[in-house]
Chain A
C-alpha cells in the first residue's frame, strides 16, 4: 500500500506505449527467486501429501481368491463407510472432545488470569514470574509427559503419600492427568500471547477509569478483557486444534498406564491403523480428522465473531 507513488510512477513509465490491459510485473526474476524455495517445498510437503492422502483414502484392496495377489483398486467412499462404522475411532474422538471441553477453558482461564495479574500493579517481580511460568513451554511434550508420569507414579513420585492413595494413572483419572501435562506446558505460552496484547493497549484508555476510583479488577473486566478478545480467540483456536491432534503425551502415558489403549486419541488410532498396515483406512481417518479440526475451529470463530457483533 505504501508503495503506491513509486509504483504508479514506475508503471506509468513502463506502460506508456502499451495498451492498459497487460501491466508487466517489475522484478519478476527476483520475486521468483524469493518465492520458489518455500513454494516448491510447500507444494512437495504440504499440498501433494494432502492430495495423495485423499486419493489413498479412496482405494480398497482386492484379491484374486483367498490367497491371490493383493491389488489396490479405486473403491470410492468405501473406506469412509468403514470410518463411520469404526467404534474405537469415534470413542477416541469423544474422549478428546471431553478433554477439550474441560482443559481448554481451564488453561485459557489461568493464562488470562496470569496475564491480567502481570499487567496490573498488584504483582511485584513481574520479570521473574513471566519467565517462571513460561519455562515449561521449553520442555518438549514427550519429556513433560515422562516427567509427570514419574510424578504421578505410586513409587517414584515425591508425593507418594498422595499418589499411593489416589490412582492418577487409573482408568478414571488418567485423562485428567494427561490434561494436567498439557496445561502445565501451555499455560505460560498462552499467558504471554495475551500479555503482549495487553501491553499494546495505551494506558490512557484506562487512566480515566482509574481516576474515577475503579479497582484493578473492574478495569480488567470492563476494559482490558474486551480489548484482548482477539488474542484470546487466537489462543482458543490453536488450543482446539492441539486438543484434537493429541498424540505425544498419551502415547508416553501408555507405558505408565494400561488404561491408555492404542486407540486412546484419534491420532493414536491413525498410527495404530497405519502400522497394521492399513494405509487406506488410516488415510481416511486422517482426512476425517483434518476436516473435523477445520470445521470445529471455523465454527468456533464464527460463533464468537457473531457474539462480538451483537454486543
Chain B
C-alpha cells in the first residue's frame, strides 16, 4: 500500500527531469516545477495522514466510554468521557498504573541522567587526553554500540539470577545506564566543541582537571548531552526484553511493560481494553512533549552522529 502511493511522486517528475536536460530548460522550468510541487505535496499530505491517524484514533478512543468504543465511528468523538476514564484508570487495582508511571520515570529519568553523565565523562577523557590504551577502550566501546540491548537481555538475566538479583529494581536500572553510543557521541562532540586553550587556561588558573570538566567543559558540551539524555531516556522507556525477562512483581513494572501485560489479558478480561487505550495515550504524552520541547538539541545531535 505504502509503496504504490509513493509512485506518482517519483515517476512523474523523473520523466520531466529528462525533458529539462534535453532542451530549452528555461522555458520548461516553471511548468515542470508546478507539476513536481503538486506531486510532492500530495505525497507529504498522504503520509501525514498515515503517521498521525493512529495517534488521533487513540486520542479519540480514550475519550469514549467503554460501551461507545465499539458502537460509534472510530475517528470522531462521541460523549466526552475522558475524565471518567482517567479516574477509573488511576483507581483500578489500587492505582497500579501510577506506580508503573513512577517506575518508568525513575528507570528512564534517573537512569538517563546518570547514564549521560558517566558517558560524557568517558567520552570527554577519550577526546581530550592522550594515554596508553585510549584507542583500545574506544574500539571496545564502539563494538558495544553494535551490540543491541535485546541481545544482552538473556546474558544479563543469567548473570543476575546467579547472584539472586532478578526481579529487583536494580536488575532493570543498572544495565540501562550503560550507553556506549553516548560515549561515542560525546567524544565526537567534546573533540569539536571544547577548545584545548580553554582547558589550558583553566589549568593556569589552578583548577583541577575534574573541576574544569564540571564547570567549563560540561557547559560547552550541553547540546550533545541533551541529545544523549533524550535518546537514552527513550531507549530505557521503550525497553521491553529486560523487564520481560527480569521482572515478575507487578509493582516493579515500567509502564510500557505493565500495559503489555494488561493487553495480553484482554481475552479473559475485556474491560481492560479502555484502561489499555487511555493508559497508552498517557504513557506517550511525556515522550512527545520531551521531543517537541528539546528538538533544536537532538536535531543537531542526530546530524553529528550520522556524519562521522
Contacts and interface: CB of A to CB of B under 8 A. Distances in A.
Interface string B230-262: 000010011011001100000000001101100
A38 B180 CA distance: 9
Interface string B93-132: 0000000000000000000000000110110111011111
Contact of A123 (B40, B144, B210): B40
B287 interface: yes
A144 B175 CA distance: 24
B223 interface: no
Interface string B170-204: 00001101101001000000000000100010000
Nearest to B305: A193
Nearest to B208: A30
Contact of B148 (A38, A120, A245): A245
Given A46-B152, A110-B6, A247-B241, A129 B276 contact: no
B307 A290 contact: no
A146 B263 contact: yes
Interface string A264-292: 00010011001000010011001001100
- What's the interface size class on A, roughly? 35 or more
A223 to B, nearest CB: 13
Contacts of B118: 37-38, 41
Contacts of B70: 155-156
A305 B235 CA distance: 30
Interface residues of B, number: 114
A193 B280 CA distance: 27
A49 B148 contact: no
Given A138-B291, A255-B263, A283 B154 contact: yes
Contacts of A144: 54
Q: Which of A122, A148, A156 has the most CB of B within 10 A?
A: A122
A53 interface: yes
Main secondary structure of the interface of A (DSSP, over half): helix
B74 A283 contact: no
A199 B303 contact: yes
B174 A197 contact: no
A122 B7 CA distance: 17
B147 interface: yes
Given A217-B16, A274-B245, A28 B119 contact: no
Contacts of B47: 110, 114, 133
A213 B303 contact: no
A3 B196 contact: yes
Interface in A145-195: 146-151, 155-160, 180, 183-184, 187-188, 192-194
A149 B264 CA distance: 12
Given A113-B9, A143-B256, A132 B48 contact: yes
A216 B266 CA distance: 51
A117 B6 contact: no
Interface in A228-266: 230-231, 234, 241-242, 245, 247-248, 251-252, 254-255
A35 B306 contact: no
Given A45-B178, A134-B291, A117 B260 contact: no
B158 A283 contact: yes
A21 interface: no
B207 to A, nearest CB: 11
Interface string B141-174: 1001011101110111111001000000000001
A52 B183 contact: no
A213 B43 contact: no
B10 A53 contact: no
A124 interface: yes
B216 interface: no
Nearest to A3: B196
A196 interface: yes
A74 interface: no
Contacts of A7: 130
Interface in A277-311: 279, 282-283, 286, 289-290, 293-294, 297
Nearest to A232: B306
Contacts of A45: 152, 156, 174-175, 178
Interface string B290-308: 1110010001101101110
A140 B237 contact: yes
Contact of B307 (A28, A42, A200): A200
B159 to A, nearest CB: 5
Contacts of B44: 114, 117, 123, 129
A35 B196 contact: no
Given A3-B196, A52-B155, A53-B155, A216 B36 contact: yes
14 contacts: A6-B200, A31-B125, A46-B180, A49-B159, A124-B41, A131-B295, A132-B52, A135-B52, A138-B290, A146-B260, A192-B302, A217-B36, A218-B20, A286-B154
- 3 closest cross-chain pairs (CB), A and B: A213-B25, A158-B74, A30-B209
Interface of B: 2-3, 6, 9-10, 13-14, 16-17, 20-21, 25-26, 28-29, 32-33, 36-37, 40-41, 43-44, 47-48, 50-55, 57-58, 61, 69-70, 73-75, 118-119, 121-122, 124-126, 128-132, 137, 140-141, 144, 146-148, 150-152, 154-159, 162, 174-175, 177-178, 180, 183, 196, 200, 208-210, 213, 234, 237-238, 240-241, 244-245, 256-257, 259-260, 263-264, 266-267, 273, 276-277, 280, 283-284, 287-288, 290-292, 295, 299-300, 302-303, 305-307
